[in-house]
Amino acid sequence: MTSTVVYNGGLRTVCTHLKSGNNFETDAPVDNNGKGERFSPTDLLATSLGTCMITVMGIKARTMGFDLDDVKIDVLKIMKADPRRVSGINLTFHIPGKLSDIDEKTKAILKNTAETCPVIKSIHPDIEVNIDWGTWK
């Protein structure tokens, strides 16, 4: 098993990663009867895309002899009604100045690595994913 999810009432869960024991709580979003005080399940879906992309990019960068410390990704989840679902995920990369001088070939390798990560390959094709590479355009 990977994790456990326990419903604590009030539209909240506690999720525990079994190998490490780390945990976090979720909450339903305000627009779906919750308080919006924690990540919602759909927030986690969108955020997992960003974490997967930067993780595999970090692995690739490490094999190339550098790191991606301080790269930031803003994640915007877009919901659609009837049926209620995630219809889009917008990701905006913020690349620190120390990485702005990476050559075009290396940028292309890193972008390709991100755009073929396991999560993006698992997202339904009806979910529109938009990536803004910021200064790496």
**With 90 as the cut, is the pLDDT of residue 137 above it?**
no
The string of pLDDT tens digits covering residues 79-122 is 999 999 999 999 999 999 989 889 999 999 999 999 999 999 99
State residue 135's pLDDT score: 87
DSSP states along 89-115: EEEEEE--GGGTT--HHHHHHHHHHHH
**With 90 as the cut, is the pLDDT of residue 40 above it?**
yes
State residue 101's pLDDT score: 85
**119 to 14, 27, 112, 113, 137: CA distances (angstroms):** 22, 22, 14, 12, 22
The string of pLDDT tens digits covering residues 52-82 is 999 999 999 999 999 999 999 999 999 999 9
Phi, psi dihedrals of residue 41, rounded to the nearest 5° = -55, -40
CB 71, CB 29: distance < 8 Å:
no
Both tokens assigned to 129: 């994913």
State residue 100's pLDDT score: 82
State residue 60's pLDDT score: 98
Both tokens assigned to 75: 């994640």
Residue with the two structure tokens 């780390």? 22
Q: Based on C-alpha coordinates, what's the Rg of the chain? A: 17
